[in-house]
Chains A and B, each alone.
Chain A
Amino acid sequence: MTEEAKERLPLSGIRVIDVATVIAAPYCATILGEFGADVLKVEHPVGGDVARHFGTPTARGDTLTWMSEARNKRSVTIDLHRPEGKELFKKLVAKTDVVCENFRPGTLEKWGIGWEVLRELNPRLVMLRVSGYGQTGPYKDRPGFARIAHAVGGIAYLSGMPRGTPVTPGSTTLGDYLSGLYGCVGVLLALRHRDKTGRGQYIDTALYESVFRCTEELAPAYAMYGTVRERGGPHIETACPYGHFPTKDGKWVAIACTTDKLFARLADAMGRPELASTGLYGEQKIRLDNRHEVNEIVRDWCGSHTREEVLEKCNAANAPAGALNNIADIFGDRQFHARRNLLAIDDPDLGETVIVPNVVPRMSRTPGRIKQLGPKLGQHTEEVLKDLLGLGDSEIAELRSHRVI
């Protein structure tokens, strides 16, 4: 994607300050950077963003998560606890379109660089504020992480075997990414409004709300019928067969027959079209009433074939089935290769290739790009202070000696 990327992208000329940590608000900045924005990662001079230490370290010290998700960003170190640091930060904000932050509410205000101050400096500013519980409400001061947000937002309760211990919904960082996505929608909306009216605004994104917003009819069904949805293991209440089934070779497939037509195709794939007759399991209602029996039939069939065989038969009959891939499977998957979902990028400082997920979404005329992986701490401090703020060598040396940058 690097070579064929166009010079101009939808966000060329937009400058973003990412003063946030880990994944939530930073991921919004990551997407903006993929589509042309100049992203300045403002970090503490000692240690930097904790994402540099979150996960598996590389030989360079920074973790793989950092290398992937800080893609395209320029690292600028500023100590925001110091008066000189605050001044530098304010000068940068005056020349910036978007600020992304995810401190606990009130933190930037305590440092004297809250929304009111920054808006005064730059009335056109768009500011994304991500936090565990949002900027308002009784829990706003509590520490919040995606793990907690999955619990509070209602999806952890739904993950796991019926009556068993609730499990992590796949990934502990899911809520961070979801908040980054909602935040990014908010930032793009706000930029549009600003371009029309000249007025900036802030976007208040709570991790738990980003999770809760993805629960379809969970809330309406409780309000109307008092239904408290419980954990369903690999299955769901509204369709059958729908779940994960083990295959002969010790692997798993996912099958989802949400309609009668899809079940008829599965019955064809199984070589037992009679199962989809009205006298047997042709109708969803009957399948749901006999879910144990139906699941058992599908389980027996899957268990008597390898995963490849099951998928081949399902695909031939257009039945909805897929491999339950682990990451090794993914690296061998033809579709991932054909769509270039895995991108190998050389990092000059590491002297190694790092494999990262490619840009999503895929745009036909203005494809996003990955110019570089996560920068080294403070790699761009000097160039940014010189080019953007017009500081001289001696000033920079002095700021460095005082550990402001």
Chain B
Amino acid sequence: MSSAAASQGTASESPGSTPEEKTLPLEGVRIIDLGTFLGGPFAASILGEFGAEVLKVEHPVSGDPMRRFGRATKRHDATLAWLSEARNKKSVTIDLRKPRGVELFIKLVSKSDVLIENFRPGTMESWGLGWDVLSAANPGLVMLRVSGYGQTGPYRKRTGFAHIAHAVGGLSYLCGFPGETPVVPGTAPLGDYISSLYGAIGILLGLRWKEQTGEGQVIDVAIYEAVFRLMDELAGSYGMFGKVREREGSGSFVAVPHGHFRTKDEKWIAIACTTDKMFERLAEAMERPELSSSHLYGPQRQRLKARDEVNRIVNEWTGSLTRDEIMERCIDKEVPVGKLNSIADIFEDEHFKARNDLFTIEEEGIGPVVVPNVVPILSETPGRIRNLGPPLGNATYEVMRELLEISAAEIASLRQQKII
């Protein structure tokens, strides 16, 4: 079922790879990813896709808890979420609660360009790894710090996850039906992805600045803040008009019809008529052009006033045809429409296939794993997936020996003491 739908590839082949691999934008950049789960580490995943060397520094025994988060696989140290999102990383184990581990880590930082962490503010400092120490070791260091509430402010020490950040940042309040239980906005770690995207932007800006001036800096991303930044005019309209936006179910306060509609075969579609012209096209697709006349529902203002009635008419129409029939008629008239895809639908979708959005990679001991491909697509320097989430400590020896120039005997002793 699945692998046929996905693009084919192997561990040594990248999406859109050419025989002679092009130099990627971040070749030569070394990133230490000391974070756990996704908020922060996903920034390293993106940068790794575009050529950075990413060293995932983990606790020697337990590793990143992300390894245990989600669906298990045949590999005991890897869930599917880990395999997909720790793509391209190398795992290096160091125990930062031991003094010798801290020494090794500082040495590693001095040979790296970027450090990513997402502990609760103050944790790194308690290990003797505050910014003062790290920037002394590497004045050009770019450090991304992701946390629930940021490095400052009264809540900074509180436990924060994406789920909490969606609530604090104002997104969850808007998700659900008016007066009913607010629901999860689609996926639980959305805020982790969003904060990581901001983090990746901060890192790229920070690297640019460092190359211009030699100066490093800290990028402080709060997950709640990253979520709140996406709330279009929510703050502006409360500030100016005192308007508190409420949950709108499947609709939107700016336009009608603009929502999700059920079809005859018990599936769903999304329709978004943001302008009068688009509603006119929908009325044509429905073979009821009179609906878009000026005295009926032609102008948006009138549709907004008669919101329930307009939605009822559209629902009645979508309920009388299958999803495929609705899609065909709407596409024919250029109505903005889309299937409300489940993951099963996505694997069948010809557009996902054509753009190679599903990437299959053969993982040793597991078999084929299908993961979302690289986003965005760069024309000259497309990103690549060389390997999935690594086994715990798979690059510890290599990094200790080659990068930190520690003798084989000492490495053995560090291992024995469980420092690495």
A residues with a Cβ closer than 8 A to B are 10-11, 23, 31, 35, 54-56, 58, 63-65, 67-69, 133-134, 136-139, 142-145, 147-161, 165-174, 177-178, 181-186, 188-193, 196-197, 199-206, 208-210, 212-236, 238, 242-244, 246, 252-254, 256, 258-259, 262, 315, 318-328, 330-331, 333-336, 338-339, 341-342, 344, 352-357, 360-366
Asked if B1 is an interface residue, CB under 8 A from chain A, the answer is yes
Contact check, A181 vs B159: say whether CB atoms are below 8 A apart: no
Instruction: Name 9 extra pairs, CB < 8 A, besides A230-B342, A361-B198.
Output: A56-B237, A161-B183, A189-B50, A192-B26, A201-B381, A204-B378, A223-B369, A238-B188, A315-B158
Are B240 and A64 in touch, CB under 8 angstroms? yes
**Cβ of B218: which chain A residues have Cβ within 8 Å of it?**
363-364
Interface residues on B, range: 35 or more
Q: Given A165, A235, A328, which contacts B238 in the complex, CB threshold below 8 Å?
A: A328
> Are A361 and B221 CB-contacts (below 8 A) given A55-B232, A325-B173?
yes
Binds A, one of B78-86, B103-111, B122-130: B78-86
- Tell me whether A213 and B209 are in contact (CB under 8 A): no
B187 interface residue (CB < 8 Å to A): yes
Supposing A138-B350, A168-B248, A234-B183 touch, asked if A214 and B2 sit within 8 A by C-beta, the answer is no
- Taken together as a complex, chains A and B put the C-alpha atoms of A276 and B117 apart, in Å, by 30
8 Å CB contact of A171 from B155, B174, B188: B174
Residues of B close to A217: CB separation below 8 A:
70-71, 79-81, 84
For A164, the closest partner residue in chain B by CB is: B177
> Are B201 and A142 in contact, with the CB atoms below 8 A?
no
List 23 contacting pairs A-B, 8 Å CB cutoff, sorted by A. Answer: A10-B209, A56-B237, A68-B235, A143-B335, A151-B341, A169-B175, A170-B174, A173-B230, A174-B230, A185-B204, A192-B207, A221-B71, A223-B368, A234-B183, A234-B184, A254-B166, A256-B161, A324-B182, A325-B170, A330-B228, A341-B228, A352-B240, A361-B201
Bound-complex Cα distance A165 to B172 (A): 17
What residues on B are CB-neighbors of A165 within 8 Å?
177, 249-250, 260, 262, 268
Do A138 and B175 touch (CB < 8 A)?
A: no
Given A138-B354, A157-B342, A324-B172: A356 and B235 interface contact (C-beta under 8 Å): yes
In angstroms, Cα B202 to Cα A365, docked, is 11
Tell me the nearest residue of chain A to B174, going by C-beta: A170
> Complex: how many Å from CA A326 to CA B178?
13
Q: Considering the complex, give the chain B residue whose CB is closest to the CB of A128.
A: B376
Q: Is B355 an interface residue (CB 8 A)?
A: yes
Which A residues are in CB contact (< 8 Å) with B338? 144, 147-149, 151-152, 208
- B376 pairs with A185, CB closer than 8 A: yes
Query: Across the interface, which residues of A come within 8 angstroms of B168, CB to CB?
Result: 254, 322-323, 325, 333, 335
Indicate whether A363 sits within 8 Å of B375 (C-beta atoms), given known contacts A185-B197, A233-B184, A339-B150.
Answer: no
CA of A147 to CA of B271, assembled, Å: 8
User: Do B184 and A144 touch (CB < 8 A)?
Assistant: no
* Inter-chain contact A151/B219, CB cutoff 8 Å: no
Please state if B83 and A56 are interface contacts (CB–CB under 8 Å): no
Q: Which residues of A contact B163 (CB under 8 A)?
A: 242, 254, 256, 320
- Are B249 and A167 touching (Cβ within 8 A)? yes
Cβ–Cβ contact B239 & A192, under 8 A: no
Find out whether the CB atom of A158 lies under 8 angstroms from the CB atom of B187: yes
**Is B33 on the interface with A (CB-CB < 8 A)?**
no
Q: How far apart are A166's CB and chain B's nearest CB, in angstroms?
A: 5
Q: B225 near A11 (CB under 8 angstroms)?
A: no
A173, A224, A229, A238 — most chain B CB neighbours (10 Å): A224
Of A148, A227, A253, A342, which is within 8 A of B336 by CB? A148
In the bound complex, how far is the Cα of B81 from the Cα of A202, in angstroms? 30
Indicate if the CB atoms of A254 and B340 lie closer than 8 Å.
no
Q: How far is the CA of A262 from the CA of B69 in the complex (A)?
A: 15
Interface window among B93-101, B251-259, B287-295, B392-400 = B251-259
Among candidates B170, B187, B336, residue contacting A327 with C-beta atoms closer than 8 Å: B170
- The answer to whether A362 and B201 touch across the interface, beta carbons within 8 angstroms, is no
In the complex formed, the residue of B with least CB distance to A51 is: B232
A224-B351 in contact (CB<8A): no
CB of B301 within 8 A of chain A?
no
Do the beta carbons of A183 and B376 come within 8 Å of each other? yes
Does chain A have a CB within 8 A of B245? yes
Closest beta carbon of chain A to B170's beta carbon, Å: 5
B279 lies within 8 A of chain A by Cβ: no
- Min Cβ gap B341→A in Å is 5
Give the CA-CA distance A32 to B155 in the complex, in Å.
Answer: 29
A89 to chain B, nearest CB (A): 21
B183, A160: Cβ atoms closer than 8 Å = yes
Which residues does chain B contribute within 8 Å of A193, judged by CB atoms? 23-25, 380-381
A218 touches B173 (CB 8 A): no
Residue in chain B with minimal CB distance to A352: B240
Q: Which A residues are CB-close (under 8 A) to B215?
A: 365
* Minimum-distance CB pairs A-B, first 7: A355-B239, A155-B186, A223-B2, A254-B167, A64-B236, A151-B270, A223-B370
0/1 per residue, B53-77, Cβ < 8 Å to A?
0000000000001000111010000
**A156 — nearest CB in chain B belongs to which residue?**
B340
Shortest CB–CB separation between residue A244 and chain B, in angstroms?
Answer: 5
Rounded to whole Å, the gap between the CB of B254 and the closest CB of chain A is 6
Nearest to A342 among chain B residues (CB) is B235
**Which of A139, A161, A186, A319 is B351 in contact with, Cβ under 8 Å?**
A139
- Complex Cα distance, B67 from A32, in Å, reads 35
A341 to B169, CA, bound (A): 10
Task: Verify A190–B381 contact, CB threshold 8 A.
Answer: yes
Chain A residues whose CB sits within 8 angstroms of the CB of B222 once the complex forms:
339
Interface pair A192/B25, CB less than 8 Å apart: yes
B284 to chain A, nearest CB (A): 14
Q: CA separation between A172 and B165, bound complex, in Å?
A: 18
Closest to B340 in A: A151
Asked if B375 and A182 sit within 8 Å, CB to CB, the answer is: yes
Task: Flag B343-382 by CB within 8 Å of A: 1 or 0 each.
Answer: 1101101111011011010000000111110011111110
A212 touches B184 (CB 8 A): no
* Closest Cβ neighbor of A235 among chain B residues: B184
Closest CB in chain A relative to B190 CB, distance in Å: 6
- Name the residue of chain A whose CB is nearest to the CB of B186: A155
Identify the closest chain A residue to B230 (Cβ): A177
